[in-house]
Amino acid sequence: MFRIMFFQPCIPPNTGNAIRLAANTGCELHLIEPLGFTMTDAQVKRAGLDYHEMANVTVHPDLATAWDRLRPERVFAFTAHARSRHTDIAYQPGDVLLFGPEPTGLPDEVVTDPHITGTVRIPMLPDRRSHNLANATSIAIYEAWRQNDFAGAV
């Protein structure tokens, strides 16, 4: 399946929603520290409901450690500044879909990291900054899963 990666997430409910998304789609969720909350934060727990036990969540102390552990072949960084749309990519199981924190997004040093295969954006109307992190992640994961015929779903 696919791997969701949040670089230094700040908003607890977004991560809670991503935990629920990971549980419902079979994706792995990788969180890169520092986090703007603790995993025991009530808002994380509330947003994730009772899905925490069903989700595969790993917290990494830094991005270098995550790369070492995951050894990804393909990593797509989601940024409002990319030219390619998220629907332009032919996603493959094992791909990492990388998202930055709200409200700043991914820093330049992450976007230009040699592990990044490509940058992609989710279309939106002009003069808008970004989508909500949990919503953007859902849009991207469901497109990747759709392209793979919703493998494993009922």
Structure tokens at 57: 């969540």
What is the chain's pLDDT, residue by residue, as a tens digit (154 residues)?
999 999 999 999 899 999 999 999 999 999 999 999 888 767 766 655 577 788 999 999 999 999 999 999 999 999 999 999 999 999 999 999 999 998 899 999 999 999 999 999 999 999 988 889 999 999 999 999 999 999 999 8
* CATH code of domain 3-97+112-147: 3.40.1280.10
Q: How many C-beta neighbours within 10 Å does residue 73 have?
A: 11
| Domain coordinates in residue numbering, the chain | 3-97+112-147
pLDDT tens per residue across span 131-148: 899 999 999 999 999 999
On the question of a cis peptide bond just before residue 103, with omega within 30 degrees of 0, the verdict is yes
Q: Is 3 helix (H, G, I), strand (E, B) or coil?
A: strand
| pLDDT score for 48 | 57
Per the CB < 8 A criterion, the answer to whether 67 and 36 are in contact is: no
The overall pTM is greater than 0.85: yes
